Amino acid sequence: MRAISMLSALCLFTVLSACDVGSGVGYGDDGRLSTQEAMRNFSEVVGRVEPVAEQECRKDAPQLNCDFLIQLDKRRSAPENAYQSLDENGRPVITFTLALITGTENADELAFVLSHEAAHHIRDHLARQRRNAEAGAVVFAGLATLTGGTEADVANAQKLGAAVGARTYSKEFELEADELGTIIAYRAGFNPLIGANYFTRIPDPGDRFLGTHPPNAERIATVKRTARRLGF
């Protein structure tokens, strides 16, 4: 029982943390859009990207709920972030914070971030990551049991296994979302090559072992490769 509730707690953590793209760091007042300009950009971008994302979703993942809800977290205290989650009915929700939309430099960047988050849903990354976490927990708990671990050792191994499992493919998921995000942003009439410049300003996570995000250079290379394939 305890193991099950621990697992569901871990999965909840995973669901909430899977899709961060923001840096959590502002750029200083001078480089930022005014709230009014940012809100205008945001509603224009949502109006153009959402129908394309929905269309891609219905084509590539008809088994999923493709009725995207895109919302703005207006709390000024919320750090720069955008993330995808699912509501209790499986409806995809994409949340932007005010700090993110005022931190993007143009509509192409905002469109790219939105397309990237929509791509996470279309590729079903939350469910795939949850399955990886569950599989990791089972494998690590099995190893701890085999080596004669106590109940506490097994519980710790399960927790570690879930964390390792959840992170195993997260860099691949990010690059998949960049690839499909490039396609969605392009079809919505935005320039993903300009949009991907957003990554050049957020801190580069480098190539850390089990880090959740790929190095920025790898992300830019993915966008450029996809752009060449699309012919622009």
Chain residues that interact with Zn ion, rule: CB under 5 A: 19, 174, 177
Distance CA 129, CA 133 (A): 6
Nearer to Zn ion, 177 or 180 (CB): 177
Nearer to Zn ion, 69 or 143 (CB): 69
Distance CA 21, CA 32 (A): 18
Nearer to Zn ion, 19 or 70 (CB): 19
The nearest distance, CB 22 to Zn ion, in angstroms, is: 10
Nearer to Zn ion, 98 or 118 (CB): 118
The nearest distance, CB 130 to Zn ion, in angstroms, is: 16
The nearest distance, CB 83 to Zn ion, in angstroms, is: 8
The nearest distance, CB 82 to Zn ion, in angstroms, is: 8
Nearer to Zn ion, 112 or 140 (CB): 112
The nearest distance, CB 122 to Zn ion, in angstroms, is: 12
At CA 22, angle to CA 18 and CA 24, rounded to 5? 115
Nearer to Zn ion, 56 or 141 (CB): 56
Residue in the shown chain whose Cβ atom is closest to Zn ion: 19
The nearest distance, CB 140 to Zn ion, in angstroms, is: 25
Nearer to Zn ion, 19 or 53 (CB): 19
Type of residue at 184: I
The nearest distance, CB 21 to Zn ion, in angstroms, is: 5
- Per-position DSSP letters for the chain, written without gaps between them: -HHHHHHHHHHHHHHHHTT----S----GGGSPPHHHHHHHHHHHHHHHHHHHHHHHHHH-TTS----EEEEE--TTS-S-EEEEE-TT--EEEEEEHHHHHH-SSHHHHHHHHHHHHHHHHTTHHHHHHHHHHHHHHHHHHHHHHTT--HHHHHHHHHHHHHHHHHHTHHHHHHHHHHHHHHHHHHTT--HHHHTHHHHHSPP-TT-TT-SS--HHHHHHHHHHHHHHHT-
